[in-house]
Amino acid sequence: MKVGSRLSAVVLAALLLLSSCRTAGPQTAAIFAMDTVMDFTVYGGAQTLADAEARVRELETLFSVTSEESELSALNRSGGGTVSAETAALIPAALALCERTGGALDITVYPVVRAWGFTAGEHRVPSGEELAALSAAVDYRGVSVKGNAVTLAQGAEIDLGGVAKGYTADRLTEQLRAAGVESALLNLGGNVQAIGKKPNGDDWRVAIRDPQSESNVAVLAVSNRAVVTSGGYERFFERDGVTYHHIIDPATGCPAKSGLLSVTVVAESGLLADALSTALYVMGLDRAAEHWRAYRDFEAVFVDENGTIFLTEGLQSRFTPVSRGAAVEVIRL
């Protein structure tokens, strides 16, 4: 071997050493998408992260209800039409969850949400007559899907905001796993998806935000699970001393008053966790507990108006309250 090639071999070895210093850590990205900030931490190559970001952009252009150019906006304007395979897969899945929750989740509640100004941020309190007129068109059973053809009932519009991030998290999880990623944490604006465990073998530690303060109420240790919280404490407005939050009860057309401040759902499927966190918040503690007993395919943490924390028994070993003084009750079968 010549001196030159030896030297270059040494340099190459050193470069490899340097680059291995780099890739030992995770790849991270913060992305503005789907009306929120997403934080991705992926233990794997840079390309897997770039592919994940591209997938988010692709799904966003399909599902966004506030973007005029999205496929969903076109569907809402025309009342029916042919949609992409992705949208044609999500809508029936979302409808099944509307059915499962007895309409506590309803993807056709969008015109009511818009009347309250929660879509554009220009908040107002609609009159009783206005709500009654809009609520008449709210019924997920009026949406029919045949293949890629979707038809909406007269005056109905759909919003996939309550399920799109969960669905996206599931698709990203599939994509990352297929690319060989064994450890990643995806935070889609508070919808957390834990893939595998941390590289050191520990569970991911996901905190639940305290709805009454700026700190956290508890920490959940999870792996291969979605953790999604719904609460009325982040998006709300005040008029004449009354607080109106953004989770609309499809039955009343008004912000849900169920006695709960937040609901956190832990499930394997991000879509299920996303949909149920909203639906269980609307249902209230008693109906939510019954739903858990009937299905057992998820676990949940509830914070009620007194600040009491309720958790389903499957989470007991994974749950650590942040404050020792907090009242904690276990929901059993």
- CB count, 10 Å around CB of 103? 19
Instruction: Say if CB 62 and CB 84 are below 8 A apart.
Output: yes
The reply to whether 173 sits near another protein by the rule CB under 8 A is: no
For residue 15, the tally of other CB atoms under 10 A from its CB is 10
Q: Which of 201, 214, 240, 325 binds another protein (CB under 8 A)?
A: 214
Contacts 24+ apart (CB under 8 A), 311-320: 315/220, 315/266, 318/203, 318/220, 318/221, 318/222, 318/266, 319/218, 319/219, 319/220, 320/218, 320/219, 320/220, 320/221
Q: Which residues lie below 8 Å from residue 69, measured CB to CB, with a gap of 6+?
A: 61
10 binds another protein per the rule CB under 8 A: yes
Strand partners, 248: 255
User: For residues 292 and 300, what is the distance between their CA atoms, to the nearest angstrom?
Assistant: 8
Q: How far is the CB of 184 from another protein (least distance, A)?
A: 11
Question: 172 and 77 in contact (C-beta within 8 Å)?
Answer: no
With CB under 8 A as the contact rule, the residue among 11, 46, 74, 136 that binds another protein is 11
- Does 318 bind another protein (CB under 8 A)? Our answer is no
CB of 215 to another protein, least distance (A): 7
Could you tell me which stretch among 78-86, 132-140, 147-155, 197-205 binds another protein (CB under 8 A)? 197-205
- Does 45 help bind another protein (rule: CB under 8 A)? no
Query: Judged by CB under 8 A, does residue 245 bind another protein?
Result: no
Q: Compare residues 108 and 269 and give the one whose CB is closer to another protein.
A: 269
Q: Please report where in the chains the tokens 């609901």 appear, as a residue.
A: 263
Neighbour-count burial of 139, counting CB atoms closer than 10 A to its CB (0-12 exposed, 13-18 middle, 19+ buried): middle
First-to-final CA distance of the chain = 74
Nearer to another protein, 115 or 138 (CB): 115
185 counts as binding another protein under rule CB under 8 A: yes
Contact segment (CB under 8 A) with another protein among 58-66, 114-122, 125-133, 302-310 equals 114-122
**CB 11 to another protein: min, Å:** 8
Distance, CA of 177 to CA of 186 (rounded, Å): 13
Can residue 24 be called a binding residue for another protein (CB under 8 A)? no
Q: Does 295 engage in binding with another protein (CB under 8 A)?
A: no
Identified binder of another protein from the candidate list 120, 242, 294, 333, rule CB under 8 A: 120
By C-beta, is 229 or 312 nearer to another protein?
229
Tokens of 146: 């045949």
Indicate whether 298 belongs to the interface with another protein (CB under 8 A): no
In the chain, which ranges are continuous DSSP H helix?
A: 3-23, 46-63, 71-78, 85-100, 110-115, 128-135, 164-178, 270-283, 285-295
Reduced to 3 states (helix: H, G, I; strand: E, B; else coil), residue 322 is coil
User: Of 124-132, 145-153, 162-170, 234-242, which segment contacts another protein by CB under 8 A?
Assistant: 234-242
Q: How many residues bind another protein (CB under 8 A)?
A: 50
Our CB check for another protein shows the closer of 108 and 173 to be 173
Q: Which is nearer to another protein, 125 or 207 (CB)?
A: 207
Return residues touching another protein (CB under 8 A): 3, 6-7, 10-11, 13-14, 17-18, 21, 30-32, 35-37, 39, 41, 120-123, 185, 187, 189-192, 198, 204-209, 213-216, 219-220, 227-229, 231, 234-237, 264
